[in-house]
Amino acid sequence: MAVFSGQSLSCVRGQTIVFENLSFTVGGGGILALSGVNGAGKTSLLRLMAGFLKPAAGTLLWNNEPFDAPEEKIHWLGVDNALKPDLTVRENLSYWARGGDTDAALAKMDMSAFARAPARYLSAGQKRRAALCRLFLSPRPLWLLDEPANSLDAASESKLHALVKEHAAGGGMAIIATHNPQAWHPDNILKIGAAA
């Protein structure tokens, strides 16, 4: 199974040190929760992992080789849902599908009934569920999730927890920035910032 790790990572935004000297390891089947107060650097660390930012110091490794965040290894879900409001849910997913089964992805998050609805008419929770459907369009080993349960009701959050566990049980990895790390039953929690 794959192993994803970071060694002595530091992040600088502008002139501000967001965090420094962070290390982590997560293997296939693992769930890592990132914990910390707002502004501690959880999202910045996820963005480093996804290749959107370059570390000021340190290295990211995949099976002990340099990791440059190739698209075929990562599913990224940020705090924004990235839905075009005038497109239907199905049309939004079709952009990301690349041959994936949109019907199966919609069913995973109980969004089949909203497939033809323009995204602008969805509630906040429905928009989040529609965005989460992207995770199921194509298999990728590493899920990077930034507050994935935002706006979800209890039933949808419980379903998402089960789907993350299912992904890990199949050998996948999930790294989740969250204010409630215990809810995800992670293998490890990486606390970021002195007040974390």
Q: What is the pTM of this model?
A: 0.95
Summarised one tens digit per residue, pLDDT across range 15-54 is: 899 999 999 999 999 999 999 999 899 999 999 999 999 9
- Is 43 within 8 Å of 20 (Cβ atoms)? no
Q: State how far the Cα of 173 lies from the Cα of 9, in Å rounded to an integer.
A: 20
The pLDDT-based confidence of 99 (bands split at 50, 70, 90) is confident
What's the pLDDT at 68? 84
Summarised one tens digit per residue, pLDDT across range 107-145 is: 999 999 999 999 999 999 999 999 999 999 989 999 999
Domains, in order of start, for the chain: 3-191 (3.40.50.300)
State the Cα torsion 71-74-75-79 to the nearest 10°.
-100
